[in-house]
Chain A
């Protein structure tokens, strides 16, 4: 509960900081300090009683899984502010407001990972989404940013409508907003309600065929905020998604698996195959995030302890790697693949850490990405070999993903500097020492957890 309350308070504090403090670096510093406070208070809650307790009958209840997800996302948030702070400052004038919105997103995350009531789910998802609509359009003079914000807002509100409809139908069928109440005899209303919920949540995590907004929004939004919503918000949405159906899974089981299998197959195919044809690394990362969502959906396919471990690992792996890649990308002058040509010569450190992140996303052993994929597939396989085609498809898609991830590696290492006329590998802004060290630590973390994922998973049980 610490996260929800403190993040809300800090959001308001940030708004006033904008009025009082004019120096942008100080604003970023305060935001980072605020995130550290959230991090520590959430960590406290993992071991001790929370600062703020709610009565039993409340609609929120923290779980260890939810807290661990919060913890990972808060760590990612701190890294995010360190890596992107300077770029958030140049997006527009209202830097403190952007940070305030980010804190509100965290309040939404806190609710989404601990709700026990469908109304709270709705609130959490909305508190997460509305700041994002604003952040997407924060680059006011850029037409693409405006278009993306409008598109995101229209599509987002549409899916919110679907979610509300689903919740209403479930209430009609069961007479309760409680998540646990979904676990009863299936009636027509309940089935339609659950399906509508499934659709709206699939929209939020950009699973195919509800993914159409993703590439445009990710591409149009300022890169600094794309990095935020493609990683932290997405993982939070997944945590909410899983929490939603955990209780009712037994009852749904058979038909459910087929449905999810179809969504997974669509998501993997659409994400991976479209990513292959991209020329811009930023757009490639957008499609790659769809493809990765396909793998995360395996947790919904399986619903067991291993799948919960899987989503924890996957969340961490995906956040670290994608944040790192976006941090490198935002420094590049040219977002195309050719823009990366010869980066290994001019910026060996950036090229090195990017390679680690790309290998992790591709799921190569010795990186966290391998174990996250391993736990996901393993969790799903443990439910029996009935959907063997799905696993073969997933593996083929993983092989396809190697194609576009390795294109970046090839450009960085094997192609000559400035090989294509009209491209440039120069960086827009020089890298600071803190930036480099943060990236290095993230890369080492990816490798360390890739050797010993237990270091992270132990937090789930003790």
Chain B
């Protein structure tokens, strides 16, 4: 029952927010904090506790049930969702949106959808939430976004919709091949498929997840969508929603197609590495700060996906930690960008400069977050990326070498960005105030997480450790 609260609280708060008028802002923050509190309570429970599973009947005749479960992987992603949303709401507290009650309502509905995706252990339910998380985001991007918002968010929607429909065919097909004709995760993994069927449906699932992540060559919706969406939605998109794709790989793709995943791993990893290098090179040439961060995100996600397909314990560990860390880091980056954009209306780096003098606190916090983006030691990303490179190296040294180049490139474009925006000649015409208390709390919370998990990553490793044991034993069989 507690588990369903993770979905219910944001859902009800979201519906209430539509009618809350000016109170919507407070309702959103309150609802998300309450969810985070429930999450904290759930994390304190022992791993085998009965509270971590929930089941209710839904569609009896086709054996699809409303089953939720929280395991190691789920803990990482749901914790990210539960932590990220309050921080996002805090950081946008000073902003004034038009029709704010709708904005906050839709944000909360997105949160409910995301929680559902990360908790569902029934394939049909998973698909249900997978789509549900998409709809509010579509409305958020189309209504509150930038100039080209309608076309861009539509492209984003169609891309993901095509992918998810492919997955739906896969889910239905597998359903008929399960021994007991049910959608539960367990029986789906027992589906008996011929090699040819496996080859087909592996790609059906993979495309859905790859579009969401996004992996080269399915990434073209992403920079546009990140740039044009309202920044608060971009935080959700880049920080949490891309994790749906990675989560899908770990929860569904690898266990459902263990043989095929091993067989196709080189192709997928090469795609990831090509995407990483390609995105990094493009990021270096960007003058728009939002697009730079968007491309940098493609590079980082590519590495996580490559590590997942390397399929050894080190890589899994790193990837699961990085699922969380990447979310924290990129949301931090977007908060700072949002601050700059809200105050100056500028997103071109060449027009900015010397902000460090005007907003010293912001500069310090951003530098820490940016360093985490490059995965410097003592930051959370270092732990994850180090483990992932280690795992990738174990799988095939040359892949690790090629992927490693992207780290150097990441340093080039991230430091370049800091230099252009915060240092250099000061543009006197720009009026930038330092961070307000509410936003400062959000940013400090993120920085604390970055440093804490960078110095002492053990709690996070414990979450993932459990899951990885069962996952590796499953894949090796």
Contact = CB atoms under 8 A, between A and B. Distances in A.
Interface in B5-59: 58-59
A304 to B, nearest CB: 12
A365 B172 contact: no
Nearest to B62: A378
B142 A410 contact: yes
B172 A378 contact: yes
Contact of B135 (A359, A377, A378, A382): A359
Interface string A2-45: 00000000000000000000000000000000000000000000
Interface string B175-203: 11000000000000000000001001000
A399 B168 CA distance: 13
A389 to B, nearest CB: 11
Interface stretch (B77-85, B154-162, B219-227): B154-162
Interface stretch (B124-132, B258-266, B342-350, B373-381): B124-132
A67 B142 CA distance: 44
A366 B128 contact: yes
Given A381-B173, A413-B143, A454-B60, A396 B162 contact: yes
A153 B393 CA distance: 73
B161 A399 contact: yes
B61 interface: yes
Nearest to B57: A454
B173 A406 contact: no
Interface in B418-475: none
Contacts of A398: 161, 165
B149 interface: yes
Contacts of A366: 128, 131-132, 135
A395 B172 CA distance: 13
B172 A454 contact: no
Contacts of B176: 381-382
B135 A395 contact: no
B150 A410 contact: yes
Contacts, number: 69
Contacts of B161: 398-399, 402
B139 interface: yes
A434 interface: no
B169 interface: yes
Nearest to B160: A399
Given A365-B127, A365-B128, A381 B169 contact: yes
A388 interface: yes
Given A395-B162, A395-B169, A414-B143, A365 B157 contact: no
B169 A392 contact: yes
Interface in A361-390: 364-366, 370, 374, 377-378, 381-382, 385, 388
A365 B165 contact: no
B150 A414 contact: yes
A413 B135 contact: no
B432 to A, nearest CB: 31
Contacts of B135: 359, 364, 366
Contacts of B131: 364-366, 370
A457 B162 contact: no
B61 A391 contact: no
Given A395-B168, A453-B59, A385 B197 contact: yes
For the complex, would chain B's binding face be called helix, strand, loop or mixed by DSSP majority?
Answer: helix
B165 A414 contact: no
Interface string A413-443: 1110000000000000000000000000000
Contacts of A171: none
Contacts of A378: 62, 172, 175
B59 A395 contact: no
B166 interface: yes
Contacts of A415: 150
Given A399-B165, A414-B149, A457 B172 contact: no
A457 B157 contact: no
A400 to B, nearest CB: 9
Most B-side CB within 10 Å, residue of A364, A370, A391, A399: A399
A175 B132 CA distance: 55
Nearest to B194: A385
A403 interface: yes
A410 B162 contact: no
B59 A454 contact: yes
B225 to A, nearest CB: 15
A253 B157 CA distance: 38
A176 B99 CA distance: 68
26 contacts: A359-B135, A364-B131, A365-B128, A365-B131, A366-B131, A377-B168, A378-B172, A381-B172, A381-B173, A382-B176, A385-B173, A388-B200, A392-B166, A392-B169, A395-B162, A395-B169, A396-B162, A402-B157, A402-B158, A406-B154, A413-B143, A414-B143, A414-B149, A452-B58, A454-B60, A454-B61
Interface of B: 58-62, 127-128, 131-132, 135, 139, 142-143, 149-150, 154, 157-158, 161-162, 165-166, 168-169, 172-173, 175-176, 197, 200
Given A374-B168, A457-B61, 10 more contacts: A378-B172, A382-B176, A388-B200, A395-B162, A395-B166, A406-B154, A410-B142, A413-B139, A414-B142, A452-B59
Interface of A: 359, 364-366, 370, 374, 377-378, 381-382, 385, 388, 391-392, 395-396, 398-399, 402-403, 406, 410, 413-415, 452-454, 457
A-B pairs, top 7 by smallest CB distance, nearest first, are A395-B165, A365-B131, A399-B162, A365-B128, A414-B142, A378-B172, A381-B172
